[in-house]
Amino acid sequence: MDARGWAARGVFVVTALAVVATSPARWAITAEPPRTQVPPNRAMLLTIEASHRPNVTSQRASGESGWLAPVDAAQEKPWPGRAEYVIPAGDKLNGVSIYDVCTNAGMCDGRCAPPPGAFVRIVGVEAVTEWTLTAESAPQTVTLAPEQDARFEVVIEATRAAEVRGRSSGNDAELLDTALGYDAPTLRYQSEDAGAPSKTKIVTWRMKWDVAKEIGKRTIAWTAVATIRGFCRGDGECKPPENESIKIISVTPAAPLGQAPLAP
C-alpha cells in the first residue's frame, strides 16, 4: 500500500473516533427552584452563587426561550462566583444550572460526576420593577422569496446590552417564519457582544414554509425595535435613569448565508 493509501486509512480512523467522541457527555447540576414567588406584574431579581458560570434560562409568554445575561454584563466573564439576573414580569424561570464537559473528552461512559466543589444555588429572590427604553427604526420593507432568507444588520448604540427584534403586523406577521422554533415574527440576534456601547445585531426574516410556495415573492413591511432594560428596587415609581439611552443607527441588508444581499 502506498503512502496515500495509509494516509487515507489513518484519516478514516481518526474521523471515526472524532465522530464517536463528539458531543462528549457533560456533568450538570441544577439549582433548586426558588420557593419565593413574586407577583405576576413584577420582575424577579435572582441572586445566584455558583462555582461555574451558570446558565439561567427563561421563557417568555410567547413561548420563546432563551438565556439570560447577568444584570451587570461585566459579571459574566470571568465568572465572579455571584451575580444577579432579572426575569422580566410575565416571564417564567426555566432553570438555573451549571455544566461542563467531562475532562476525559467524552469517553466517560456514564460516570461523569461533577468535580469536587461544584455547586449552584439561588440565594436571593426579590420582586423588582422593570424599566425599559425602546428605540424603533424607520419603517423597512423586504421582498421575501420562498426558500430564501433576508438578513439585516441593525446597528444600535446603547448604554447597556440591548435586545433587538423585528416587528411586523397584520397579514405580514402571519406569513413569517416559525421554522426555527421561535414565535413569529421574530429574529435571531447576536448576543455575545453584551456590554459594548455600539453593537450590530442580525435580524433574519423568512416566510413560513407552508405558505411560501403558494404566495411566491412577497414584500413585507417591518420595523426594528431595540430595547434595554433595568430595574428599581422597592415599590415606588420606576423610570429609566437619565444616563441610559438607546438608538438605532442604521438598518442595512446583509448577505444571506451564501447569497448576495437582498434589496431592502
Partner 1 sequence: MKREPLLHPVALAAIALLIANDHVLKSRWPGFVTGKLSDVAGMIFFPLFAFVVVRAAGRIARRDFAARGALVACAAVTAIAFALVKTWAPARDAFEMALGAARWPIGAVRALLAGEAPRFARAAIVMDASDLIALPFVLVAIAISPFRVRDDRVDDLRPDARRQLVPHLGDEE
Positions in the binding site for partner 1 (CB under 8 A):
4-5, 7-8, 11-12, 14-16, 18-26, 100-101, 105-111, 179-181, 188, 190-192, 257-258
Q: Smaller CB distance to partner 1: residue 172 or 177?
A: 177
Cell of 195: 456590554
Q: Smaller CB distance to partner 1: residue 4 or 35?
A: 4
Residue 4's H or E segment, with its range, is helix 3-20
In angstroms, rounded to a whole number, what is the distance separating the alpha carbons of residues 93 and 56?
8
In angstroms, rounded to a whole number, what is the distance separating the alpha carbons of residues 58 and 67?
7
> In angstroms, what is the minimal distance from the CB of 2 to partner 1?
9
> In angstroms, what is the minimal distance from the CB of 3 to partner 1?
11
In angstroms, rounded to a whole number, what is the distance separating the alpha carbons of residues 181 and 199?
25
Q: Smaller CB distance to partner 1: residue 105 or 123?
A: 105
Q: Smaller CB distance to partner 1: residue 14 or 255?
A: 14
Q: Smaller CB distance to partner 1: residue 104 or 143?
A: 104
In angstroms, rounded to a whole number, what is the distance separating the alpha carbons of residues 26 and 197?
35
Q: Smaller CB distance to partner 1: residue 18 or 138?
A: 18
> In angstroms, what is the minimal distance from the CB of 36 to partner 1?
29
Q: Assess contact for 55 and 67: CB atoms under 8 A.
A: yes
> In angstroms, what is the minimal distance from the CB of 125 to partner 1?
26
Which residues, listed in sequence order, are joined to residue 104 by a DSSP beta bridge?
A: none
> In angstroms, what is the minimal distance from the CB of 222 to partner 1?
20
**What is the DSSP track for 129-194?**
EEEEEEEEPPPEEEEE-TT--EEEEEEEEESS--EEEEE--HHHHHHB--TTSSPSS------TTT
Q: Assess contact for 96 and 56: CB atoms under 8 A.
A: yes
> In angstroms, what is the minimal distance from the CB of 161 to partner 1?
14
Q: Smaller CB distance to partner 1: residue 127 or 149?
A: 149
Write the CA distances from 123 to 44, 95, 225, 229, integer angstroms: 13, 14, 34, 23
> In angstroms, what is the minimal distance from the CB of 28 to partner 1?
10
Backbone φ, ψ for residue 50 (5° rounding): -160, 155
